[in-house]
Amino acid sequence: MKKYLLLVVVIAVAFFLSRRFIFVTEADRIRRVVNHARRALEQEQSDALMHLLASDFQDHYGNDRGAIKSDIDNFFSQVDSIEVMMKIGSVRINNLDRHWVWNDSSGRDVGSHIDVVAPGALCSLRVRIFGKVEGEKGIVLGGIRPADVVLELVKNGTEWEVSYAQY
């Protein structure tokens, strides 16, 4: 009986490890990048955040990597702590050149019209960011409803990087 119990435990552990490390999808890898960005933001690690941005990164305001780095460092110098509430919506992998029109989970057009260059991916998020200054907590991004964020990611070798952000 102990042999069967041990066998079941070994099979369960092997299944967990294979799912976690061997059978990882591209969507799982993208979710890891997004979660890594959340942790880096909460821990105020600007270099870790910058590592996740593609060399040609640009947001929908036209800010490039240099402007984002300056804004992030300025933000980190002003707040005592940061809390990020985030829900990853969908991840769409694109292997062909095409034009995306992004809709939220209810099918409502959120105004994101992005030309994607293959290979790439889009990730939709619902985000609220809170900053605490001198014990007072304030909303930095989002409001009563979380902000809709769309990230375009490109694959650089084996790593996914954020090449465009709309928030």
CATH number of the domain within which 160 lies: 3.10.450.50
Q: What is the dihedral of CA 31, 35, 37, 39, to 10 degrees?
A: -170
Higher pLDDT, 65 or 6: 65
Q: What is the tally of structural domains in the chain?
A: 1
| Angle, CA of 5, 7 and 8, to the nearest 5° | 65
Q: Which pTM was predicted?
A: 0.73
Q: What's the burial of 140, exposed, middle or buried (CB within 10 Å: 0-12/13-18/19+)? A: middle
> What confidence score (pLDDT) does residue 120 get?
86
135 band by pLDDT with thresholds 50, 70 and 90? confident
Percent of the residues in the chain that have a pLDDT greater than 70, as a whole number? 80
> How far apart are the C-alpha atoms of 117 and 123, rounded to whole Å?
15
Q: Which of 12-21, 58-67, 69-78 has the lowest mean pLDDT?
A: 12-21
Note down the domain range covering 16.
2-166
Helices (H), the chain: 2-17, 26-42, 46-51, 65-78
Higher pLDDT, 30 or 95: 30
Q: Tell me: pLDDT of 157 over 90.
A: no
Report the DSSP beta bridge partners of residue 56: none
> How far apart are the C-alpha atoms of 109 and 116, rounded to whole Å?
17
3-state secondary structure of 90: strand
Q: How many other C-beta atoms lie within 10 A of the C-beta of residue 12?
A: 10
